[in-house]
């Protein structure tokens, strides 16, 4: 029997053969319910569009408004719950998620398409964030400061904001909810969560785990609905105290403007067009691994994907020969097959977008070295499979150099000097992440100083992040507070400064 179609053997498996298709629902005030919108939205396996993972009745603005009202009612009690207790609920969720890791990874592969090892890696990464933020319940601290006045205790406490909305994309359907929702909860906010319409099943599992961990009803509310219908409520409702969005620049700009107009906190983490420089002295085998992972891991559907490769001219030919030899070996297919190295793109829209960029690249004069086509052999014709694609002789004026493609397409530029490498790296409107491969520490340090990116990797791929350090981009890649680490919880809380005068008598003079 074909390995890919073998029935799952994991005991606790979420089975979604047509008869077991998941009936996905919104979750408001502790109740699972169908939306009243006029659309029924299906979550389809991008590796085999004959498989429907689940279906939900789309929420309308009515449920989005209701979810905000419930979150508002639930806020006083959640705010009064001690932060260490809030943190412990997140830690309990972590325990459950760890036990269910294999099964969640499998669901992610079937719903989003990334290969199983990457899905398991994402669950692990999200779990690290639950671990970090669970602990933050014990560290939700203010500061004391020396006052200008005698017998005056001057201190700060951190307080939650209130009702916050969290809007997430499909490409990291576990890790991104973890890195937004965990700090928001631990800081004492109540939440309305809208995941991408492509990955509702992962969002439902995330909420179920928090429910099982003991999160009180009404604290976290899930609205399954399309961004175009419920989005405006979740950005503009006057009761929201913050909006945390991750997604495209196209949508993010509107979110930032509409929420920012009301003077509330907004963070928008958006696209990237990340450069990887391979210098003449680079450890070539190491750089090859980094470029392959960065460009084609998760089918290039990462905000941190390596989409521009800047090769020092002296090693360019040698590097490209070796790179192409490896790219040709990538087995494309269903990510449940352990032999597969690259899964499908997520849906028909993304499929057409990437193919369109291949045509744009060819028209602009870039040289297509490999790939660029649909893969339709055998069962692959039922999925959104594309060849890993490499363009050479790309110039900074080209759209394939400037625009986020969000697929397995790598654009190669050759550079002669360090200054040129920095200028070419910085010649886009994005500034999310970057990488350089060199054995010259001075060069690596200079690059990390001069590249316009929120994150820099020296001798490692552009991808990745760790719970305990900030994640996010410069320039048009991000606005608002960075995510993860301390920054994540700072965004979802605000300081209050307390002046406690214990002189017990009228002051002779009050300086200020």
Please pick, from the candidates 161, 270, 342, 484, the single residue that binds ligand NAP as defined by CB under 6 A: 270
Residue keyed to tokens 């002789």: 393
455-474 binders of ligand NAP (CB under 6 A) = 473
Q: Please choose, out of 132-140, 164-172, 362-370, 418-426, the segment that lies near ligand NAP by the rule CB under 6 A.
A: 164-172
CB of 14 to ligand NAP, least distance (A): 21
Catalytic residue among 63, 303, 404, 476: 303
Residue 433: name the closest of 272, 268, 246 by CA.
272
Contact 122, 172 (CB under 8 A): yes
Catalytic residue among 269, 387, 404, 481: 269
CB of 64 to ligand NAP, least distance (A): 10
- Residue 59 DSSP label: P
Q: Is 24 in the site for ligand NAP (CB under 6 A)?
A: no
342-381 binders of ligand NAP (CB under 6 A) = none
Residue 309: name the closest of 354, 271, 342, 278 by CA.
278
Strand 455-458 relative to strand 474-475, pairing: unpaired
- Size (the chain), residues: 512
Rg of the chain over all Cα atoms, to the nearest angstrom: 24
State the DSSP string of 192-253: EEE--TT-HHHHHHHHHHHHHTTPPTTSEEE----HHHHHHHHHH-TTEEEEEEES-HHHHH
Q: Which is nearer to ligand NAP, 134 or 478 (CB)?
A: 478
467-506 binders of ligand NAP (CB under 6 A) = 473, 477-478
CB of 389 to ligand NAP, least distance (A): 18
Q: 73: which strand partners?
A: none
Q: CA of 189: how far to CAs of 133, 256, 266, 331, 493, in Å?
A: 14, 20, 15, 45, 8
Strand 367-370 relative to strand 306-312, pairing: unpaired
385-424 binders of ligand NAP (CB under 6 A) = 404, 406
The reply to whether 178 belongs to the active site is no
SS3 47: coil
How far apart, in whole angstroms, are the C-alpha atoms of residue 488 and residue 470?
A: 8
Please pick, from the candidates 42, 49, 226, 353, the single residue that binds ligand NAP as defined by CB under 6 A: 226
Q: Is 251 in the site for ligand NAP (CB under 6 A)?
A: yes
Q: Is 269 in the site for ligand NAP (CB under 6 A)?
A: yes
Q: Is 38 in the site for ligand NAP (CB under 6 A)?
A: no
Q: Which is nearer to ligand NAP, 54 or 87 (CB)?
A: 54
CB of 257 to ligand NAP, least distance (A): 11
The reply to whether 269 belongs to the active site is yes
CB of 41 to ligand NAP, least distance (A): 8
Q: Is 170 in the site for ligand NAP (CB under 6 A)?
A: yes
Instruction: Kindly list the residues in this chain that would bind ligand NAP in the complex (CB under 6 A).
Output: 167-172, 194-198, 226-228, 231, 235, 246-248, 251, 254-255, 269-272, 303, 404, 406, 432, 473, 477-478
């Amino acid at each position: 029997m074909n390995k890919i179609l073998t029935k799952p053997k994991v005991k606790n498996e979420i089975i979604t053969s047509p008869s077991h298709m998941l009936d996905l629902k919104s979750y408001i005030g502790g109740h699972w319910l169908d939306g009243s919108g006029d659309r029924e939205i299906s979550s389809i396996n991008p590796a085999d569009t004959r498989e429907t993972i689940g279906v939900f009745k789309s929420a309308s603005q009515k449920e989005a408004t209701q979810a905000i009202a419930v979150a508002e009612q639930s806020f006083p009690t959640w705010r009064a719950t001690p932060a260490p207790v809030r943190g412990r609920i997140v830690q309990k969720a972590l325990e459950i998620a760890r036990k269910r890791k294999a099964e969640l990874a499998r669901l992610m592969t079937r719903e989003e398409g990334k290969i199983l090892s990457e899905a398991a890696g994402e669950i692990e990464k999200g779990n690290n964030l639950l671990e970090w933020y669970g602990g933050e319940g014990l560290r939700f601290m203010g500061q004391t400061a020396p006052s200008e006045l005698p017998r005056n205790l001057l201190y700060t406490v951190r307080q939650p904001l209130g009702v916050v909305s969290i809007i997430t994309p499909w490409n990291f359907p576990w890790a991104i909810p973890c890195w937004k929702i965990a700090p928001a909860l631990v800081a004492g906010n109540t939440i309305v969560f809208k995941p991408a319409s492509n990955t509702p099943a992962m969002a439902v599992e995330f909420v179920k785990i928090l429910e099982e961990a003991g999160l009180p009803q009404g604290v976290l509310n899930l609205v399954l609905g399309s961004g175009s219908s419920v989005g405006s409520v979740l950005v503009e409702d006057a009761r929201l105290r913050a909006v945390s969005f991750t997604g495209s620049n196209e949508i993010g700009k509107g979110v930032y403007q509409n929420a920012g107009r009301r003077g509330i906190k907004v963070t928008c983490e958006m696209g990237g067009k990340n450069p990887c420089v391979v210098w003449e002295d680079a450890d070539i085998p190491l750089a090859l691994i980094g470029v392959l992972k960065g460009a084609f891991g998760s089918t290039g559907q990462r905000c941190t994907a390596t989409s521009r490769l800047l090769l020092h001219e002296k090693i360019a030919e040698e590097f490209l020969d070796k790179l192409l030899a490896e790219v040709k070996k990538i087995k494309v297919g269903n990510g449940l097959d352990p032999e597969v190295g690259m899964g499908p793109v997520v849906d028909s829209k993304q499929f057409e977008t990437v193919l369109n960029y291949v045509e744009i690249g060819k028209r602009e004069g870039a040289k297509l070295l490999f790939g660029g086509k649909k893969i339709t052999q055998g069962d692959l014709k039922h999925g959104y499979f594309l060849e890993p694609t490499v363009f050479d002789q790309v110039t900074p004026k080209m759209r394939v150099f400037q625009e986020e493609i969000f697929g397995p397409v790598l654009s190669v530029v050759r550079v002669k000097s360090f200054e040129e490498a920095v200028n070419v790296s910085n010649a886009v409107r994005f500034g999310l992440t970057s990488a350089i491969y060199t054995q010259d520490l001075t060069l690596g340090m200079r690059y990390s100083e001069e590249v316009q990116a929120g994150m820099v990797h020296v001798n490692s791929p552009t991808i990745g992040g760790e719970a305990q350090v900030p994640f996010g981009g410069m320039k048009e890649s991000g606005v608002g507070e960075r995510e993860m680490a301390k920054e994540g919880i700072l965004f979802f809380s605000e300081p209050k400064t307390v002046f406690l005068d214990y002189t017990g008598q009228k002051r002779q003079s009050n300086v200020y």
